Amino acid sequence: MIYIFLFILSFLLTYLIKNYAIKKSLVAEVNERSSHSVPTPHGGGIAIAVTWFAGLSWLFFRGEIEPSLYYALLTGAVLAVVSYLDDLYELSPKIRLITQSSVSVVGLVTLGGLSSLDFGLFSIENQLLTNIIAFVAILWFINLYNFLDGIDGYAGSEAVFLGIAGFLLFGGGHFLVLIASVMGFLVWNWHRAKIFMGDVGSTLLGYTVAVFTIYYANEDPVNLWIWIILFGVFWFDATYTLVKRYFNGEKLSVAHKKHIYQRLTQAGFSHDRVVFMAIGANTVLFALAYFISRH
């Protein structure tokens, strides 16, 4: 019942935020990186954040989530607040980096760090090295999710997929809270989007996926690779595009439309079709992750 309530809460909050954004002209303007053609309200990620943290707190007070996981996820509230300010005022890259780095460190410490990295043929046990890698990974997850939030329903549907996959593989009410929180927003974000989530939503979701990855990797080193597989569509697109632009000598800080999903829309694919293609790829990745988890 609580998950239905959270879905309705997210749905209603998104609706109110959408109307407020329109009234105050808080819209995402069309620019060289945009995949939309008309100015659209943003900040819908606030609804995701409020519902997400409310649901997590409900689980915590009922003793249905591990304290270390709860506090690590709750640290994302700082990131959400600063990211929303960035949506409104375009904060300097330095402020964003300091915030993301601080949240990453606190989250990592709260989880007890990353205990080891298992590569099959060898493993890394050095805590300094594993935690440096984990810190960089959290930063990358935060930013790549932001990069991949560019077309209607794409970032939201990815979060719902990860929530469903996480619940089926690991169980836990926190995954159901994630699904409900994002689904309420996604109703308004599906093509054509009535509102975008903005950095407040995308950076929070990226951080959340990173926390899940480290938390479950500490339970079993194999789980690290399961989460890498589940998140494969997003991290591959973002990493491949970044590396390609670097070797092409492009300035990485300049906005662009060269991600795979953006190239597909430029080639004439509708937003819906690209999203459904991603869902198809995610289904295959889930099957692979499920197979690995059972062997």
What percentage of the chain has pLDDT greater than the value 90?
Answer: 85
Query: What tokens does 277 get?
Result: 């293609």
- Expressed in angstroms, the distance from the first to the final Cα of the chain is 35
* Tokens at 25, concatenated: 């002209």
pTM, entire model: 0.95
**E-only strand ranges, the chain:** 27-28, 40-41, 117-118, 123-124
Selected residue with higher pLDDT from 30 and 125: 125
Nearest to 49 by CA among 204, 163, 161: 204
Fill in the DSSP letter of residue 27: E
Which is nearest to 136 in space by CA: 96, 100, 112, 162? 100
The stretch 123-131 carries a mean pLDDT of 94
Separation in Å, CA 54 to CA 9, 171, 176, 239:
10, 19, 13, 33
Q: Is the predicted pLDDT of residue 191 greater than 80, yes or no? A: no
The values of phi and psi at residue 124, to 5°, are: -105, 120
Contact 67, 110 (CB under 8 A): no
